[in-house]
């Protein structure tokens, strides 16, 4: 019996081996074209809104006349790649990157047309912000306004806002850039009938005017500031709205400050404040100052005039306020014009002491000052820089003298002047010692850098750098690093 079992096992094993040998002989193997993909690097860094360029080298084991197809697919590295974008269909890649800063995957597919077999290589792409630091430029072309940026590396990016917001342009007449440095960087663009906040990294739109209020008034934004380190202040159509940053965000404006019981007010949109004494406001209607503490909801009169201690009566100025800006410590310099439009005065207000009215100067008759159109206060010396048409002057407030610093070509109009300060680097040698001046001349805009000498004059009596090729410039501001 055992012999029979052994015999059956041997026969079965022989049949199985014969079947395998026969099956092996039935397969017919076909060689395919294998493609190997190499490149200089699989990890690439690119700036946002810059061009990503990748060149590859391909080797084929069996090239065919049918050729190859190519596809480059881009998507976020974190999470499920729900949003995938085809960047190109050529062998090498040249593509504009508009995605937000972050880490991305880029899959490169090469497909053999004859066999349909695909080969893949993955690239790791790091998109960095191109807009971390530089001069922002509000540029108008064809009736629409957008944002340009001149980087520290002197590269110019154009149409940043529309590129980051699916082609949408800024509100009509956008004229001013307001930057608040508070727990990060906040950027606001003001126009006659709107104000938008944009992301400081990629300039995507965050809010429009009505979203800053519990109950939004008719929009006429005139100024947006952080005062005293804790209060956000919005000037809109002469009214003053405040929001305390002591409370958790979002910081939303409520009702305007209540007047001091003497009728309606219209406050000029200039920030005058100190941490110790609060905020000061100048009323266009009554031509006098009012004040408010950090948590006040009502305006109050200023201290009663004391001839022995005060240089002027803050409750009875009787002049038009043309400009006001912080100088040093809590000092503010204010330029007034009398109601006959023929005399000019500088009033000095120290917002950090109980009797703020510390000095006044008659600056009537100084060249170009009566018809000046832009002003900028020094942050280190008692100098006020101002422009009139194509000329830029320095007003020495204490000496009550004026010096012509620079004359642009005939027909040039100064569009804006801003002092440079880099909040990311307090040791930057140009901090408070360089003025950016934007001009419109011969139908196009320019941006100039003027470094300041220790005398307050322009170094070498000229500019350091100029950037051309802009449309009509409406405003500029320096954006510090993130």
Q: For the residues 340-361, what does the mean pLDDT come to?
A: 96
Q: Residue 129 has what pLDDT?
A: 77
- For the residues 25-51, what does the mean pLDDT come to? 82
- Asked if residue 376 lies in contact with residue 392, where contact means CB atoms within 8 angstroms, the answer is no
Residue 22: the pLDDT is 47
Question: Residue 26 above 70 pLDDT?
Answer: no
Indicate the pLDDT class of residue 5, thresholds 50, 70 and 90. very low
Q: Which phi and psi (to 5°) does residue 47 adopt?
A: -80, 145
pLDDT the model gives residue 27? 54
Residue 459 and residue 451 in contact, taking contact as beta carbons nearer than 8 Å: yes
Angle formed at CA 135 by CA 225 and CA 168, multiple of 5 degrees: 80
Does the pLDDT at position 12 exceed 70?
A: no
| pTM score | 0.80
pLDDT score of 192: 95
pLDDT tier, 28 (very low <50, low <70, confident <90, very high otherwise) = low
Confirm or reject CATH 2.60.40.10 for domain 35-128, answering yes or no: yes
CB-neighbour burial class of residue 475 (10 A; exposed 0-12, middle 13-18, buried 19+)? buried
User: pLDDT tens-digit profile of 248-267?
Assistant: 777 899 999 999 876 799 99
Quick check: 231 and 294 in contact, CB under 8 A? yes
Q: Which residue has the higher pLDDT, 316 or 181?
A: 316
Band of pLDDT at residue 230, cut at 50, 70 and 90: confident
pLDDT the model gives residue 44: 92
pLDDT at 9 (0 to 100): 45
∠ CA(304), CA(400), CA(379), 5° rounding? 75
Question: Residue 20: its pLDDT value, please?
Answer: 46
> Domain residue spans in the chain?
35-128
């Amino acid at each position: 019996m055992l012999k029979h079992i052994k015999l059956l096992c041997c026969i079965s094993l022989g049949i199985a081996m014969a079947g395998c040998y026969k099956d092996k002989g039935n397969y017919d193997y076909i060689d395919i074209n294998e493609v190997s993909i190499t490149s200089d690097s699989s990890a690439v860094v690119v700036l946002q809104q810059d061009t990503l360029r990748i060149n590859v080298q391909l080797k084929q084991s069996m090239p065919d006349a049918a050729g190859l197809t190519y596809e480059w697919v881009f998507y976020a590295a974190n999470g499920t790649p729900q949003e995938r974008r085809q960047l190109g269909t050529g062998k090498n890649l040249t593509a504009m990157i508009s995605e937000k800063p972050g880490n991305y995957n880029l899959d490169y597919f090469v497909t053999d047309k004859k066999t349909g077999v695909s080969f893949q290589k993955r690239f790791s792409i790091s998109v960095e912000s191109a807009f971390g630091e530089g001069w922002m430029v509000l540029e108008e072309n064809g009736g629409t306004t957008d944002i340009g940026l001149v980087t520290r590396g002197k590269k110019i990016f154009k149409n940043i806002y529309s590129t980051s917001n699916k082609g949408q342009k800024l509100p009509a007449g956008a004229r001013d850039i307001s930057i608040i440095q508070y727990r990060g960087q906040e950027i606001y663009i003001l126009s006659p009938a709107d104000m938008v906040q944009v992301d400081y990294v990629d300039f995507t739109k965050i809010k429009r005017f009505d979203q800053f209020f519990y109950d939004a008034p008719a929009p006429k934004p005139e100024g947006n500031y952080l005062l005293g380190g804790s209060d956000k202040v919005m000037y809109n159509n002469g009214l003053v709205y405040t929001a305390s940053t002591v409370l958790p965000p979002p910081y939303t404006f409520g009702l305007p400050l209540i007047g001091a019981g003497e009728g309606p007010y219209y406050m000029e949109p200039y920030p005058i404040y100190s941490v110790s004494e609060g905020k000061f406001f100048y009323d266009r209607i009554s031509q006098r100052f009012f004040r408010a503490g950090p948590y006040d909801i009502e305006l109050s009169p200023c201290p009663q005039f004391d001839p022995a201690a005060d240089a002027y009566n803050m409750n009875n100025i009787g002049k038009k306020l043309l400009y006001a800006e912080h100088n040093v410590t809590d000092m503010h310099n204010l330029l007034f014009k009398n109601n006959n439009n023929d005399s000019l005065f500088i009033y000095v207000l120290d917002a950090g002491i109980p009797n703020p009215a510390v000095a006044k100067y008659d600056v009537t008759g100084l060249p170009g000052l009566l018809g000046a159109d832009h002003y900028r206060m020094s942050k280190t010396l008692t100098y006020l820089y101002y422009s009139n048409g194509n000329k830029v002057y320095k007003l020495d407030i204490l000496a009550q003298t004026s010096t012509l610093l620079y004359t642009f070509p005939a027909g040039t109009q100064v569009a804006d002047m801003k002092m440079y300060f880099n909040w990311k680097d307090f040791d930057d040698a140009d901090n408070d010692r360089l003025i950016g001046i934007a001009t419109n001349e011969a139908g196009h805009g320019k941006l100039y850098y003027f470094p300041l000498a220790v005398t307050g004059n322009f170094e070498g009596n000229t500019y350091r750098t100029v950037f051309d090729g802009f449309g009509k410039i409406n405003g500029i501001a320096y954006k510090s690093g993130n």
